[in-house]
Homo-oligomer: A and B are copies of this chain.
Amino acid sequence: MPPATTISERAATDIAALASQLRIAVARTARTLRREAGEGITPTLMCALATIEHHGPMTVGALAEHERVTKPTVTRTVHALVDQGLVVRTGDLDDGRVAWLTLSADGRRLVQRVRRRKDEYLARRLRGLEPAEIEALQRAADVLARIEDEA
């Protein structure tokens, strides 16, 4: 007979093991998805574009914070996006230090096209799963989104 364990000890063990498995699974899945963007746009540019689309007009600093990169990195990213006509950069009228970023019509179309493409790729991989597995993934997506928002 195994030694008795309290509920909290059991839970702690389960969580540690889960953390390890989840970390590996998430890293590998993300890596695969990053390679599915296509459209000739890089993952970094695509991420920035998607963030601006989701948030609406943002400053350079806000984008840096959201993407968790430094401001010089965002400056570079935005430069590339503006060069490609995907983002419009406008100076703030009241505060001369601030620059506002918005999507151009081309940028908006591109975001939607790439998003559809990635979703279709992942959806192909999900087809054929059991309904219970689908539901588990749905709940997991919700939970992961929530704990990231709390970060």
Q: Are B18 and A148 touching (Cβ within 8 A)?
A: no
Binding site for B on A (CB under 8 A): 11, 14-16, 18-35, 47, 68, 115, 118-120, 122-123, 125-127, 129, 131-145, 147-148, 150-151
Instruction: Pick from A26, A28, A145, A150 the residue with the most CB of B within 10 Å.
Output: A26
Instruction: Pick from A135, A137, A150 the residue with the most CB of B within 10 Å.
Output: A137
7 closest Cβ pairs, A-B complex? A140-B140, A30-B30, A136-B139, A19-B122, A25-B144, A19-B123, A21-B141
Q: Which residue of B lies closest to A123 (CB)?
A: B19
Q: Are B29 and A148 touching (Cβ within 8 A)?
A: yes
From B16, B29, B33, contact of A119 by CB (8 A): B16
Q: Are B68 and A31 touching (Cβ within 8 A)?
A: yes
Q: Are B68 and A21 touching (Cβ within 8 A)?
A: no
From B22, B35, B137, contact of A22 by CB (8 A): B137
